[in-house]
A and B are shown apart, each in its own frame.
Chain A
C-alpha cells in the first residue's frame, strides 16, 4: 500500500458549510460526537449517531467512497477487536464451542456493537481532518488549549511543533526518496534478505536522513530566530478566528444531538 492511499488525517479541499466551520467548533463537536459513541448503550441508539454522521457527511459533499478509504489502514484493528469480543465474552446463550473457545449470543452482539462503534469513530474523526486544513486544526488546537497555559500546558509550543512537522513531512519524504535512490545506485538493497539483513540495509538510509533532519533543524532554528521568534508571548496572529452563524447552528445541533443520545439511555424503546 502506497503512502498516498491513506486518507486518515488527509485534507479533502472543498467549500461546503462543514469546511467553512471554525476549526475550534469542529474540534469540540467531533469530541462531543466521539463521547456520544461511548454513551450509547443499544444498537437502536446508534441510529441517532448514524443519522447525525450521515447528515454531516452529506453536507460536507465528500464522496462516501473517499471517507470509507480511511478504514483501510485500521481494518485489521477493527477485526481484531471484533474477534476478541467474539471469543472472550462468555456470558449468555452458548451457540458453539470450539475447544476452549465458546461463542455466545452476547459475544456476537458485543462484537458487532464494538465493530460499529469503531467504524463510526473513525468516520467521525476522519471527517474532521478531511474538512479542515491541518494548519487550521493546529491553530484551533492552540486557541482551545491556550487557557490551559496558565496551569503550565505549553499550548503554543505544541502547536508550533505541529506546524513545523506539517511543513517538513514532504521535505523529509523527498529526502528519503533521494537517499534511497542514491544508495541503490551504489548497490544497496532495501528489499531482499532476512529481517536482520533488511535492518542492516537501513543504516545507509537512516544515518544520512538523521544528519539531514538535524541540519534542517539547525537552519530552521536560526531562521526563526532571525525572524524575531521568541515563543508565544507578545505574539499576534494574522488569522483571527471569529464564530459565525453557521458555528452557532453547529453547536446547537450537536448539543441537541448529545441530549438525545443521553436520553436514549433512559428510554428502553430506543
Chain B
C-alpha cells in the first residue's frame, strides 16, 4: 500500500492567542515497502505528522490518500466507514509504548487489537502468537504472564507485538528505542529490520538518532517548524545539506560529522561518506597523503 500525503496542514487551537501551526503544507509519498526516517527537533511537527497519517488527528487542510495494489485510491483522512477500514492498515507504535499495556496477561494484551478488528478468538490467538514470535517473545513461556512482571525491554516488545498483531501494511514507530541501553537499542532496530522483511510492510521511523536513520532508512525526511525541509536518500540529505542541518541545530551522523571536523581543521578530506569503513579509508588516504 502506498500512502500519499497531499498538502497537509494542522493548526492547533485555531483563532486563539496560542494558535500553533504544527504542520505547514507537507506533501510526500510513502512507497509500498519503503523505510522512511523522519528527523527533527522536539516540536518540529514530526509527531503531529505521523499521528495524522495514523488517522488520530484530523488535518486542518490537505488530505492523506492510500493507493492500493490494484491502483484504486481511498482518502483516509476523512470520517466514514471505508476510510476507517483502510486506516486500520496503518499501525502506530507510540513513544514508550509499554506504558499502554493494561491486560492481565501478555496474550490478552496482544489480542486487544485483533479483538477490536472483530476477529474470532482462534484468529486473535493465532495472530498474537505470530506477532510475539516476530518480536522474539516466546508465547508459550510468557503468554500467560502479567505484562507488568516483564523487564523494560520485554514490555516494549510486547507492546510492539500488540500493534503487529493487527497486521498493518504501514508501520509507524515514534522513537521506539527511547530510554533503552545500547543493547536494547540495537535489538529493537534489528527486530524492525526483520519485521519489515518478513511482513513486507512500509516503515516510518521517527528518531533522534542520526546514525540509526542513516543506517536503516531508504529515505530521510527532515522536519523543521512544521515544514518538510528535506526529503532524500540518507546520503543526499546528510552529505549535501550538512550545513543546513547544522543551522537547524540537528545532529549529523558520526561519520560525516567527524570528516567535517577534519575538513574544518584544514585537512583535505571528502566528507560525503556515511559508512564506517569508507570513512576510515578516506581518513587513511588523507593522512597518508599528508605524510608525503
A residues lining the B interface (CB < 8 Å): 178-179, 181-189, 203-204, 207-208, 211-212
Contact = CB atoms under 8 A, between A and B. Distances in A.
B23 interface: no
B52 to A, nearest CB: 11
Contact of B163 (A184, A185, A188, A211): A185
B148 A211 contact: yes
Contacts of A186: 112-113, 116, 162-163, 166
B148 A189 contact: no
B88 interface: yes
Given A184-B56, A187-B113, A187-B166, 17 more contacts: A181-B94, A182-B92, A182-B94, A183-B100, A185-B54, A185-B56, A185-B163, A186-B112, A187-B88, A187-B112, A187-B116, A189-B116, A203-B102, A204-B100, A204-B112, A208-B101, A212-B99
B97 interface: yes
A179 B116 contact: no
B281 interface: no
Contacts of B94: 178, 181-182, 185
Most buried by A among B92, B116, B162: B116
Contacts of B166: 186-187
B253 interface: no
Contacts of A203: 102
B40 interface: no
B102 A181 contact: no
A210 to B, nearest CB: 9
Contacts, number: 46
Given A186-B112, A187-B166, A189-B116, A181 B51 contact: yes
Given A185-B54, A189-B116, A211 B99 contact: yes
Interface string B52-68: 00101000000000000
Contact of A181 (B56, B112, B117): B56
B162 to A, nearest CB: 6
A178 B115 CA distance: 21
A212 B101 CA distance: 11
8 closest residue pairs by CB, A with B: A187-B116, A207-B102, A186-B113, A182-B100, A182-B94, A181-B56, A185-B92, A204-B102
A139 B97 CA distance: 38
21 contacts: A178-B94, A179-B99, A179-B100, A182-B92, A182-B100, A184-B56, A185-B92, A185-B94, A186-B112, A186-B116, A187-B88, A187-B112, A187-B113, A187-B116, A188-B112, A203-B102, A204-B112, A208-B99, A208-B100, A208-B102, A211-B99
B91 interface: yes
Contacts of B113: 186-187
A257 to B, nearest CB: 36
Contacts of A208: 99-102
B151 to A, nearest CB: 16
Contacts of B91: 185
A182 B116 contact: no
A186 B162 CA distance: 8
A207 B112 CA distance: 14
A188 B113 CA distance: 8
A187 B90 CA distance: 11
A178 B92 CA distance: 12
A212 B148 CA distance: 12
Nearest to B55: A185
Interface in B57-116: 88, 91-92, 94, 97, 99-102, 112-113, 115-116
A207 B113 CA distance: 16
A220 B131 CA distance: 36
A39 B100 CA distance: 53
Contacts of A212: 99
A186 B116 CA distance: 7
A207 B147 CA distance: 12
A182 B109 CA distance: 13
A218 to B, nearest CB: 14
A169 to B, nearest CB: 18
Nearest to A207: B102
Contacts of A189: 116
A186 B91 CA distance: 8
Contacts of A187: 88, 112-113, 115-117, 166
Nearest to B96: A178
Nearest to B114: A187
A212 B54 CA distance: 24
Contacts of A182: 92, 94, 97, 100
Contacts of B163: 185-186
A203 B115 CA distance: 15
A184 B92 CA distance: 10
A174 to B, nearest CB: 12
Contacts of A179: 99-100
Contacts of B101: 208
A4 to B, nearest CB: 9
Contacts of A185: 54, 56, 91-92, 94, 163
Contacts of B117: 187
A208 B109 CA distance: 12
